[in-house]
């Protein structure tokens, strides 16, 4: 059963690729509020945490603004959340970037650097494949290519992994845990398949 789109809070932590994500969401009919106000996050029908920048800086900026605590509250309340790229990484307990980073602790595990011997950052298109737990939101992406730009990733066996891809090693390209969804790729840069994903999220 789908719900009406309502308002999407697009979290502004000072380092996100906000304009292109905002434009993509508006293109699929979303009512978007770009905000760093914790109360706006709490009031929203859905929340999108975009990703560009470093995991340590993004996580700390969200803590300073109070958005981190508001996000934790909305997750517990059942509000649909979508993290994009760094917005996926900060959901984890910790990461290796910049000598070590503390995430929000919503997902157990560590974000690790992609293996040596591969061109980093990994920038470009990679194919997506499903895990056994792939939910309907991500199922249409199986076999499609999505656009990535990153040097760090979540492990392929993380609880909730829904889509995998490979750059030197297999890693988590998308995850789903109840109302919490996240992708390592950039749907706003992934053309039709990315817009279709955002359209589905707006109705989830």
- Catalytic residue numbers? 85, 186, 188
DSSP character string of 30-99: -EEEEE--HHHHHH-SEEEE---S-HHHHHHHHHHHTHHHHHHHHHHHT--EEEETHHHHTTEEEE-GGG
Q: What's the CA gap between 64 and 168, in Å, rounded?
A: 35
Q: Output the CA–CA distances (angstroms, integers) from residue 10 to 48, 55, 116, 191, in the order listed.
A: 5, 17, 34, 20
Are 134 and 162 a contacting pair, CB within 8 Å? yes
């Amino acid at each position: 059963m789908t719900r009406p789109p309502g308002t999407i809070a697009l979290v502004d932590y000072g380092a996100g690729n906000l304009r292109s994500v905002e434009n993509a969401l508006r293109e699929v009919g979303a009512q978007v509020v770009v905000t760093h106000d914790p109360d706006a996050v709490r009031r929203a029908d859905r929340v999108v945490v975009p990703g560009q920048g470093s995991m340590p800086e993004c996580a700390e900026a969200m803590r300073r603004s109070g958005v981190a605590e508001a996000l934790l509250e909305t997750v517990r309340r059942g509000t649909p959340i979508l993290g994009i790229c760094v917005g996926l990484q900060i959901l984890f307990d910790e990461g290796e970037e910049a000598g070590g980073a503390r995430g929000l602790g919503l997902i157990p595990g560590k974000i690790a650097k992609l293996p040596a011997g591969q061109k980093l950052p990994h920038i470009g298109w990679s194919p997506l494949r499903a895990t056994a737990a792939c939910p309907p939101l991500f199922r249409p992406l199986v076999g499609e290519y999505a656009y990535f730009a990153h040097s760090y990733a979540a492990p392929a066996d993380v609880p909730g992994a829904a889509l995998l891809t490979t750059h030197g090693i297999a890693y988590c390209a998308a995850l789903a845990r109840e109302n919490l969804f996240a992708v390592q790729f950039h749907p706003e840069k992934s053309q039709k398949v990315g817009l279709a994903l955002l359209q589905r999220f707006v109705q989830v």
